[in-house]
Structure 1
Amino acid sequence: MSLKYAVLAALLEGEASGYELSKVFDVSLANFWPATPQQLYRELERLARDGLIQARVVRQERRPDKRMFTLTEAGREDLRAFAAAPPRRPTAIRDELLIKIQAMDGVDPGTTRAQIEERMSWARGKLDRYTRVRERLLAGRTEDEFLREADRIGPYLTLMAGIAFEEENLRWCERVLTHLRRRSAVG
């Protein structure tokens, strides 16, 4: 999959500037499809050129003009076709930390512990952000009420996957630290 469909899906929420979309990516899409602002702006240009989104310029006083992007009907149709097609292949984990853990034997255990603790800190930070997004989406409703009544539940369902991923990340890190402590107590 390309960044294309992540951007089109983000625009389902309505018109947004490139800056606003980069914030959406940081908060809600980064749990499954990260993108740098530079990648995002390049993709917006490509999508506009391909007629899948349209841009309008908003004049601002004392600030540079900004471009606001919306989905075109061609973009909606392309996104619908993408959503209806089966995924090409299952997700594969590509994680530099796992390579480091694979090769950790012979490395100072303190270095490995520090890397795991850093991962835990990142996971906690993401969980905090995801929890705030969840509370905003629910707006006082229970999860069941939201899933029954909301116009769009896709963003919530993907948020649930991000929360589960980071919770599992924390559980795995705790297990690794437990094993490292046990080995250092024996050795």
Structure 2
Amino acid sequence: MDGTSFPGQHTTTTRVTTSNVSVQTNLRYDPLYLRTLPGLVKVVQIVCNMIGFLCVILAKYSHLARGSFFKSLSGIGFWFTGIMLLLYVFHVAEKFFRIPWLKIELGFCTLWTLLYLIASILCVDYASLDAAFGAAGFFGFCAMFAYGFDAYLKFQAVRSGELAQGDRVVIQQMRTSTSVA
């Protein structure tokens, strides 16, 4: 041989990562959710959807395509956000924690941000004909910002591996073993 040999001692380090999910699967009413940032954002979204919808309904030209588009957008946004709010307030999302609620909401909020941008521009374009369209456009832009902020919050939560409700505990352990040859 060339005189070099394998060292007499060898150290192996193993990193073990375990993830535990801590959820309560019972349904319960939790009004404190409405005081959290995601809860407040959902309330703002619901209010903006409802007021924008009412503004377009009261507009003289609400029968036009842009009015129908805004009404459909705000109506679907109202119901989806309202149902999600109920799922969180009654901890249904925690009971069914395996459903990717955050990813569903991220997709919805991103799509609604873009659609509200389009619908609000279309409404503001008719503000000179009817002030109700201008008001609807304003609340549409407010809803757009609320959905955009919510999409940002959901993106951050998905990226960090959070659950919609409940806790995920990640434990990392280092194991070192030494063997002598």
The answer to which structure has the higher helix fraction is: 1
The answer to which structure has the higher strand fraction is: 2
TM-score computed with the length of structure 1 as normaliser: 0.33
TM-score computed with the length of structure 2 as normaliser: 0.34
The structure whose Rg is larger is: 2
More RCO (CA 8 Å, sep 6+):
2
